[in-house]
Amino acid sequence: MFYLIGLGLGDLKDITVKGLEIVKQCSRVYLEMYTSILGCSLEDMQEFYGRPLLLADRDLVEQGADEILSGAGESDVALLVVGDPFGATTHTDFILRAKEKNIPYKVIHNASIMNAVGCCGLQLYKFGETVSIPYWDETWKPDSFYDKIKLNRLHNMHTLCLLDIKVKEPTPESLMRKRKEYMPPRFMSVAEAAHQLLAIVEKKDSLEKNTVLNEQSLCVGLARVGQESQQIAVGTLLEMRSTDMGGPLHSLIIPAKEMHPLEVEFLQQYAASIKLDDYNH
């Protein structure tokens, strides 16, 4: 049997009872930690689970799925995923490959940022399409995510922005030499995301700035959701550019232009410098 097991968001104890029982019985257990990270060390996880874990990096997950699935038809093999197994499309491919190989499988769900985002008080059913904000570099500055934020705003819906993670990314130079060397891990902060959004907004005309997004638009910053050090900050897009929310992982929310009174009341506790009633129009 192949098991795809969600670990939740906070720490090693967020795994479900069912998930933990399966981990203890498997012949091999892989830990995928490139689409997200958990707030604890590999050593602590292995001690808590009472077994060794095999690290599955990006290359193994995206190119070595057959290796992970090998033997799952005869014994139990598990892939552990931070959050929920279907929070990243990469993991869907494992299920398709298992079905092609006639390998039985089970999915053990858990909390992910997609539902835990409700911790800020914004109602989940009012969220529109989720967007991903990638790191820019000198030659690559994609901004297609802005159009999705714009569409959500026009339909009076909140936007959850998932911020880029760079783990075990090969350097451009090493790719040219065909010998992989890796850049240090990078995790986009709320401030970096706000900086890129402001750069996009600056290019827009005055009409769009008045109707869609501008430096005074309300934003919600989230850091380390589900962990003891969870942090929530509310401010303008301009203020978010200089907001330090500590270590990863961060997410950014662009709320709808009109919010429910309960949403406003809940958010106000995190907005020290502004009165949210002024933004709810």
CATH code for the domain in which residue 241 is found: 3.30.950.10
**pLDDT range class, residue 93, cuts 50, 70, 90:** confident
Q: What are the tens digits of pLDDT across the range 122-157?
A: 999 999 999 999 999 888 899 999 999 999 999 999
Residue 250 is assigned to a ligand binding site: yes
Domain boundary among 93, 111, 129: 111
Are 45 and 32 members of one domain?
A: yes
Would you say 103 and 125 are in contact if contact means Cβ atoms under 8 Å apart? no
77 and 127 in one domain? no
Q: Give the containing element (helix H, strand E) for 252.
A: strand 250-254
Query: Domains in the chain: how many in total?
Result: 2
To the question of whether residue 226 is assigned a binding role by annotation, the answer is no
276 is annotated as contributing to ligand binding: no
Instruction: Answer with the residue of higher pLDDT: 206 or 4.
Output: 4
Residues in CB range of 12: below 8 A, 6 or more apart: 38, 40, 44, 45, 48, 49
The token pair that represents 250 in the structure block: 């961060």
pLDDT tens sequence across 20-59? 999 999 999 999 877 777 778 889 999 999 999 998 887 7
Same domain, 151 and 250: yes
User: Has 131 been labeled as part of a binding site?
Assistant: no
pLDDT band (50, 70, 90) for residue 242: very high
pLDDT winner (highest mean) among 16-25, 165-174, 198-207 = 16-25
Is residue 113 marked as binding? yes
Q: Which domain holds residue 99?
A: 2-111
**What are the C-alpha distances in Å from 261 to residues 96, 121, 220, 255, 266?**
44, 11, 16, 13, 9
* Average pLDDT of the chain to the nearest whole number: 90
**What's the chain's length in residues?**
281
- Assess whether 181 and 50 both reside in one domain: no
Count of beta carbons in the 10 Å neighbourhood of residue 276: 18
Q: Identify the burial level of 40 via C-beta atoms within 10 angstroms of its C-beta, where 0-12 means exposed, 13-18 middle and 19 or more buried.
A: middle
Instruction: Consult the annotation and say whether 79 binds a ligand.
Output: no
What is the value of pTM for the model shown? 0.91
